Amino acid sequence: MELRKLQQTGGIEGTFLISLPKKWVTKRHLKRGDPIHVIERADGSLVLAPHVESINELTESTIPMEQNIRRGILSSYLLGYDRIKVTSKKRLSPEERENVKKIVRRLVGIEIVEESASEIVLQALIAPTGVQIDQTLRRIYLLANKMHKDSLVAFFDNDIKLAQNVIDRDDEVDRFYFLAVRQLRAVIQNPSLSERMNVTPVECLDFRVLAKSLENLADRAVEIAEKVFSLETYNRAEYNQIFDPFRSLNEFVVKMHQQAFNAVLNKDPVLADKILTIRKQFLKQYEKVEAILVKQTPKQPIDLFLDLKDILEIEDIISEIALDIADLVSE
């Protein structure tokens, strides 16, 4: 850290000046007359950043096929590279090309633009600033929320097609989760994007946690959906006395994560506090469901009991995810 003195020109009504470190200017290839963003943060500090439109060169990374290709492409994407070259010392096999295409399908805004015998070039066709971060987060939540609701419907109704659909939708959640991480990293690395993306660097930290929590919610929905396949032979009508309390329990869980998500995006501490009340209602219903489950154990197959117990625990985990999201709201 360098300490520099503030100077003034033109007397009392003049302009205040401060010199920039030459090393910083040289490293960023700046010259006299180049525009520089001056961004004031909430704590009163100023951030200086080069004007991004003055830089036309695409950032590029190269990944040898001999490395972990999935990790390499994903890391380059999350780090904000515009072009990603996948290279090989020998001719790329059809299997290797298909593997790259499979990875690309899981990333928003990336397409294959060039191919040769030993190289595949990927390019980002959508800039991180093309979509607002809150829109990306809303998309993730809408997907995860519907997955959670549908996973229970699939279980209660023995709907195998719906259960498989829930599992398949997890890939879509991952795509937008990776996009959110790419956007948030772009803002942190380049503060000049902060105003354009309508998010501060500090908010990026909270949104990163929020995105991961939503992705975790979708993963838990998949776990519930997978239970349908192990119980497909059972007649659900025979177990409504057990399933009905589960439905009531799920209503509390859904309400918790809906309000938690809205509280974060709207910066509403009052709404966040209300989640604690819903959590208490959830815990009462949780104990009731657990008691019913134990009471009905001798009358039901052991594997059904174990799966219902797992779902009960998953619902508890989801309620805790909602609490973690609500904790992101500050007074």
Q: Which amino acid is at 150?
A: D
Average of per-residue pLDDT across 218-224: 96
158 in the same domain as 102: no
If 0-12 CB within 10 Å is exposed, 13-18 middle and 19+ buried, where does residue 31 land? exposed
Average of per-residue pLDDT across 9-13: 66
Strand pairing report for 46-50 and 36-40: antiparallel
263 in the same domain as 159: yes
Q: Return the CA Rg of the chain.
A: 26
92 in the same domain as 35: no
Average of per-residue pLDDT across 182-194: 81
Q: Which domain holds residue 14?
A: 7-54
Q: Which region among 91-95, 209-213, 320-324 has the lowest average model confidence (pLDDT)?
A: 91-95
The rounded distance, in Å, linking the Cα atoms of 251 and 253 is: 5
294 in the same domain as 161: yes
Q: Is residue 79 part of a domain?
A: yes
Specify the higher pLDDT residue, 31 or 55: 31
The number of residues in the chain equals 331
The rounded distance, in Å, linking the Cα atoms of 6 and 46 is: 14
Domain tally, the chain: 3
182 in the same domain as 210: yes
The rounded distance, in Å, linking the Cα atoms of 177 and 296 is: 40
Task: Choose one of 128, 157, 182: the last residue of a domain.
Answer: 128
Mean pLDDT, rounded, of the chain: 85
Q: Is residue 1 part of a domain?
A: no
Task: Choose one of 71, 97, 128: the last residue of a domain.
Answer: 128
CATH of the domain at 302: 1.20.58.220
Q: Is residue 31 part of a domain?
A: yes
Predicted pLDDT at 269: 93
100 in the same domain as 150: no
Q: Which amino acid is at 235?
A: N
Q: Is residue 2 part of a domain?
A: no
pLDDT in tens, 21-31: 888 788 777 88
Average of per-residue pLDDT across 122-148: 90
Task: Choose one of 37, 54, 71: the last residue of a domain.
Answer: 54
- Structure pTM? 0.79
